[in-house]
Amino acid sequence: MKPHYIGLQSDFPENERRLIEVKGKSVGVFRLKGELYAVLNYCPHQGAPLCQGLVRPWVNAPAAGEFGYDREGEILRCPWHQWEFDIKTGCMVVDGKVRTKTYKVTVETFDVTEEDGKVYVIA
């Protein structure tokens, strides 16, 4: 794994995404609360361009008839079938209150570093 230059810090504004290519793979880079995260632009369900989906908060239901929002801008929803992934970890997000058999599903993520105003993805 080595660093790949992907642009300047100013190329990655807060709460925006940018698609880049690293080693022949399409990768979405997101800046959330000042930190950069990189996610493979490929949904493990059926290969959709994941990073073209909605970025949204986690919707929760603390009680019947109530709902709220947590983790603003941290959830990436697949544009084809609405599977949701945590941008920070790549893990699929599932409501813990749902009583169904679940399987661990993740999206490949990459470390991102910033040095002297330049941004690198480690791949």
Higher pLDDT, 112 or 72: 112
User: Which segments of the chain are extended strands (E)?
Assistant: 3-8, 17-22, 25-32, 35-40, 55-60, 68-77, 84-86, 109-115, 118-122
Please write the tens of the pLDDT for every residue from 24-58.
999 999 999 999 999 999 999 999 999 999 998 87
Residue 42 maps to which CATH number?
A: 2.102.10.10
Among 6, 33, 15, which residue's Cα sits nearest to residue 113?
6
Distance CA 27, CA 37 (A): 10
When pLDDT is cut at 50, 70 and 90, the band that residue 105 belongs to is confident
> What is the pTM assigned to this prediction?
0.85
DSSP reduced 3-state for 27: strand
The residue segments making up the domain with residue 118 are: 3-122
Q: Would you give the DSSP letter of residue 62?
A: S
Indicate the burial class of 38 (C-beta count within 10 angstroms; 0-12, 13-18, 19 or more).
buried
Looking at residue 75, its amino acid is I
**In 15-60, alpha helices (H):** none
Distance CA 34, CA 123 (A): 21
Domains in the chain: how many in total? 1
